[in-house]
Amino acid sequence: MKKNYLPVIIGLAAAGAAAYFFRKDIQKLFTKKEENNEEPPLTATSPEIQNFVPQPLPAPVVVSSPSVTPTIDINKGVVPAAKKTLSSLGTSKDKLLMGESLELGDQGQEVVKLQQILNRFAEINRTSPIKEDGNFGVGTQAKLKAILGKTSATLREMYLALFAYWNARKVGKTKDWYKYFFIPYLTDNDRLNVARANYFKNNPVI
């Protein structure tokens, strides 16, 4: 049996015609619905404006670059005092620290003995002596540097230097005393003992 689609076609055509004629009304209906979903604009009488309380702004965060305070050395050019424990003034010679390096700022009986040796050099060379007060000052340092060419020394080095200088002077070789007398005395005990004996045979004990 053949189906009749004519009624369906007529119904669709009628619906389409109705939609066309009432299209403006349908458009207004949907447009109004969408407008109702939007929030109304704020005005001077809006509750949000009337009840608004201004909040204080947060304090600004100040970021400063770290400052470095320069360290000012008010004693620039002055050698700092050495920090070591030496023998008290009046300590006997046999108890002195013979291998302790003595330098600017040191105080003690070892420094007194060093100054005595330096004054013995001054006596031999007929130069001005320094004060034997046990304080290693710039005067003591200058005398030491003039003899050994350095600003610190041990008592053992100073005794060897005195023996070397005196023995070199006895044989007319003062110019080479350091190279040919002092240096060998550091390792050759036999030569050192002879030099010590010769010195104390002709000079008072220091």
pLDDT for the residue 85: 84
The Cα–Cα gap between 181 and 168 comes to 7
> What is the mean pLDDT for each group of 10 consecutive residues in the chain (206 residues)?
60 64 64 52 56 54 41 46 80 95 95 97 94 95 95 96 95 93 93 94 91
Run of H or E including 21:
helix 6-21
The Cα–Cα gap between 132 and 20 comes to 128
From residue 177, alpha-carbon distances to 120, 160, 162, 166, 199 in Å are 16, 11, 10, 9, 14
pLDDT for the residue 133: 95
Using one digit for the tens of pLDDT, what is the confidence trace for 135-163?
Answer: 999 999 999 999 999 999 999 999 999 99
pLDDT for the residue 84: 79
192: Cβ–Cβ under 8 A, 6 or more apart, which residues? 160, 163, 185
Q: Taking a C-beta distance cutoff of 8 angstroms, is the pair 118, 97 a contact? A: no
pLDDT for the residue 68: 39
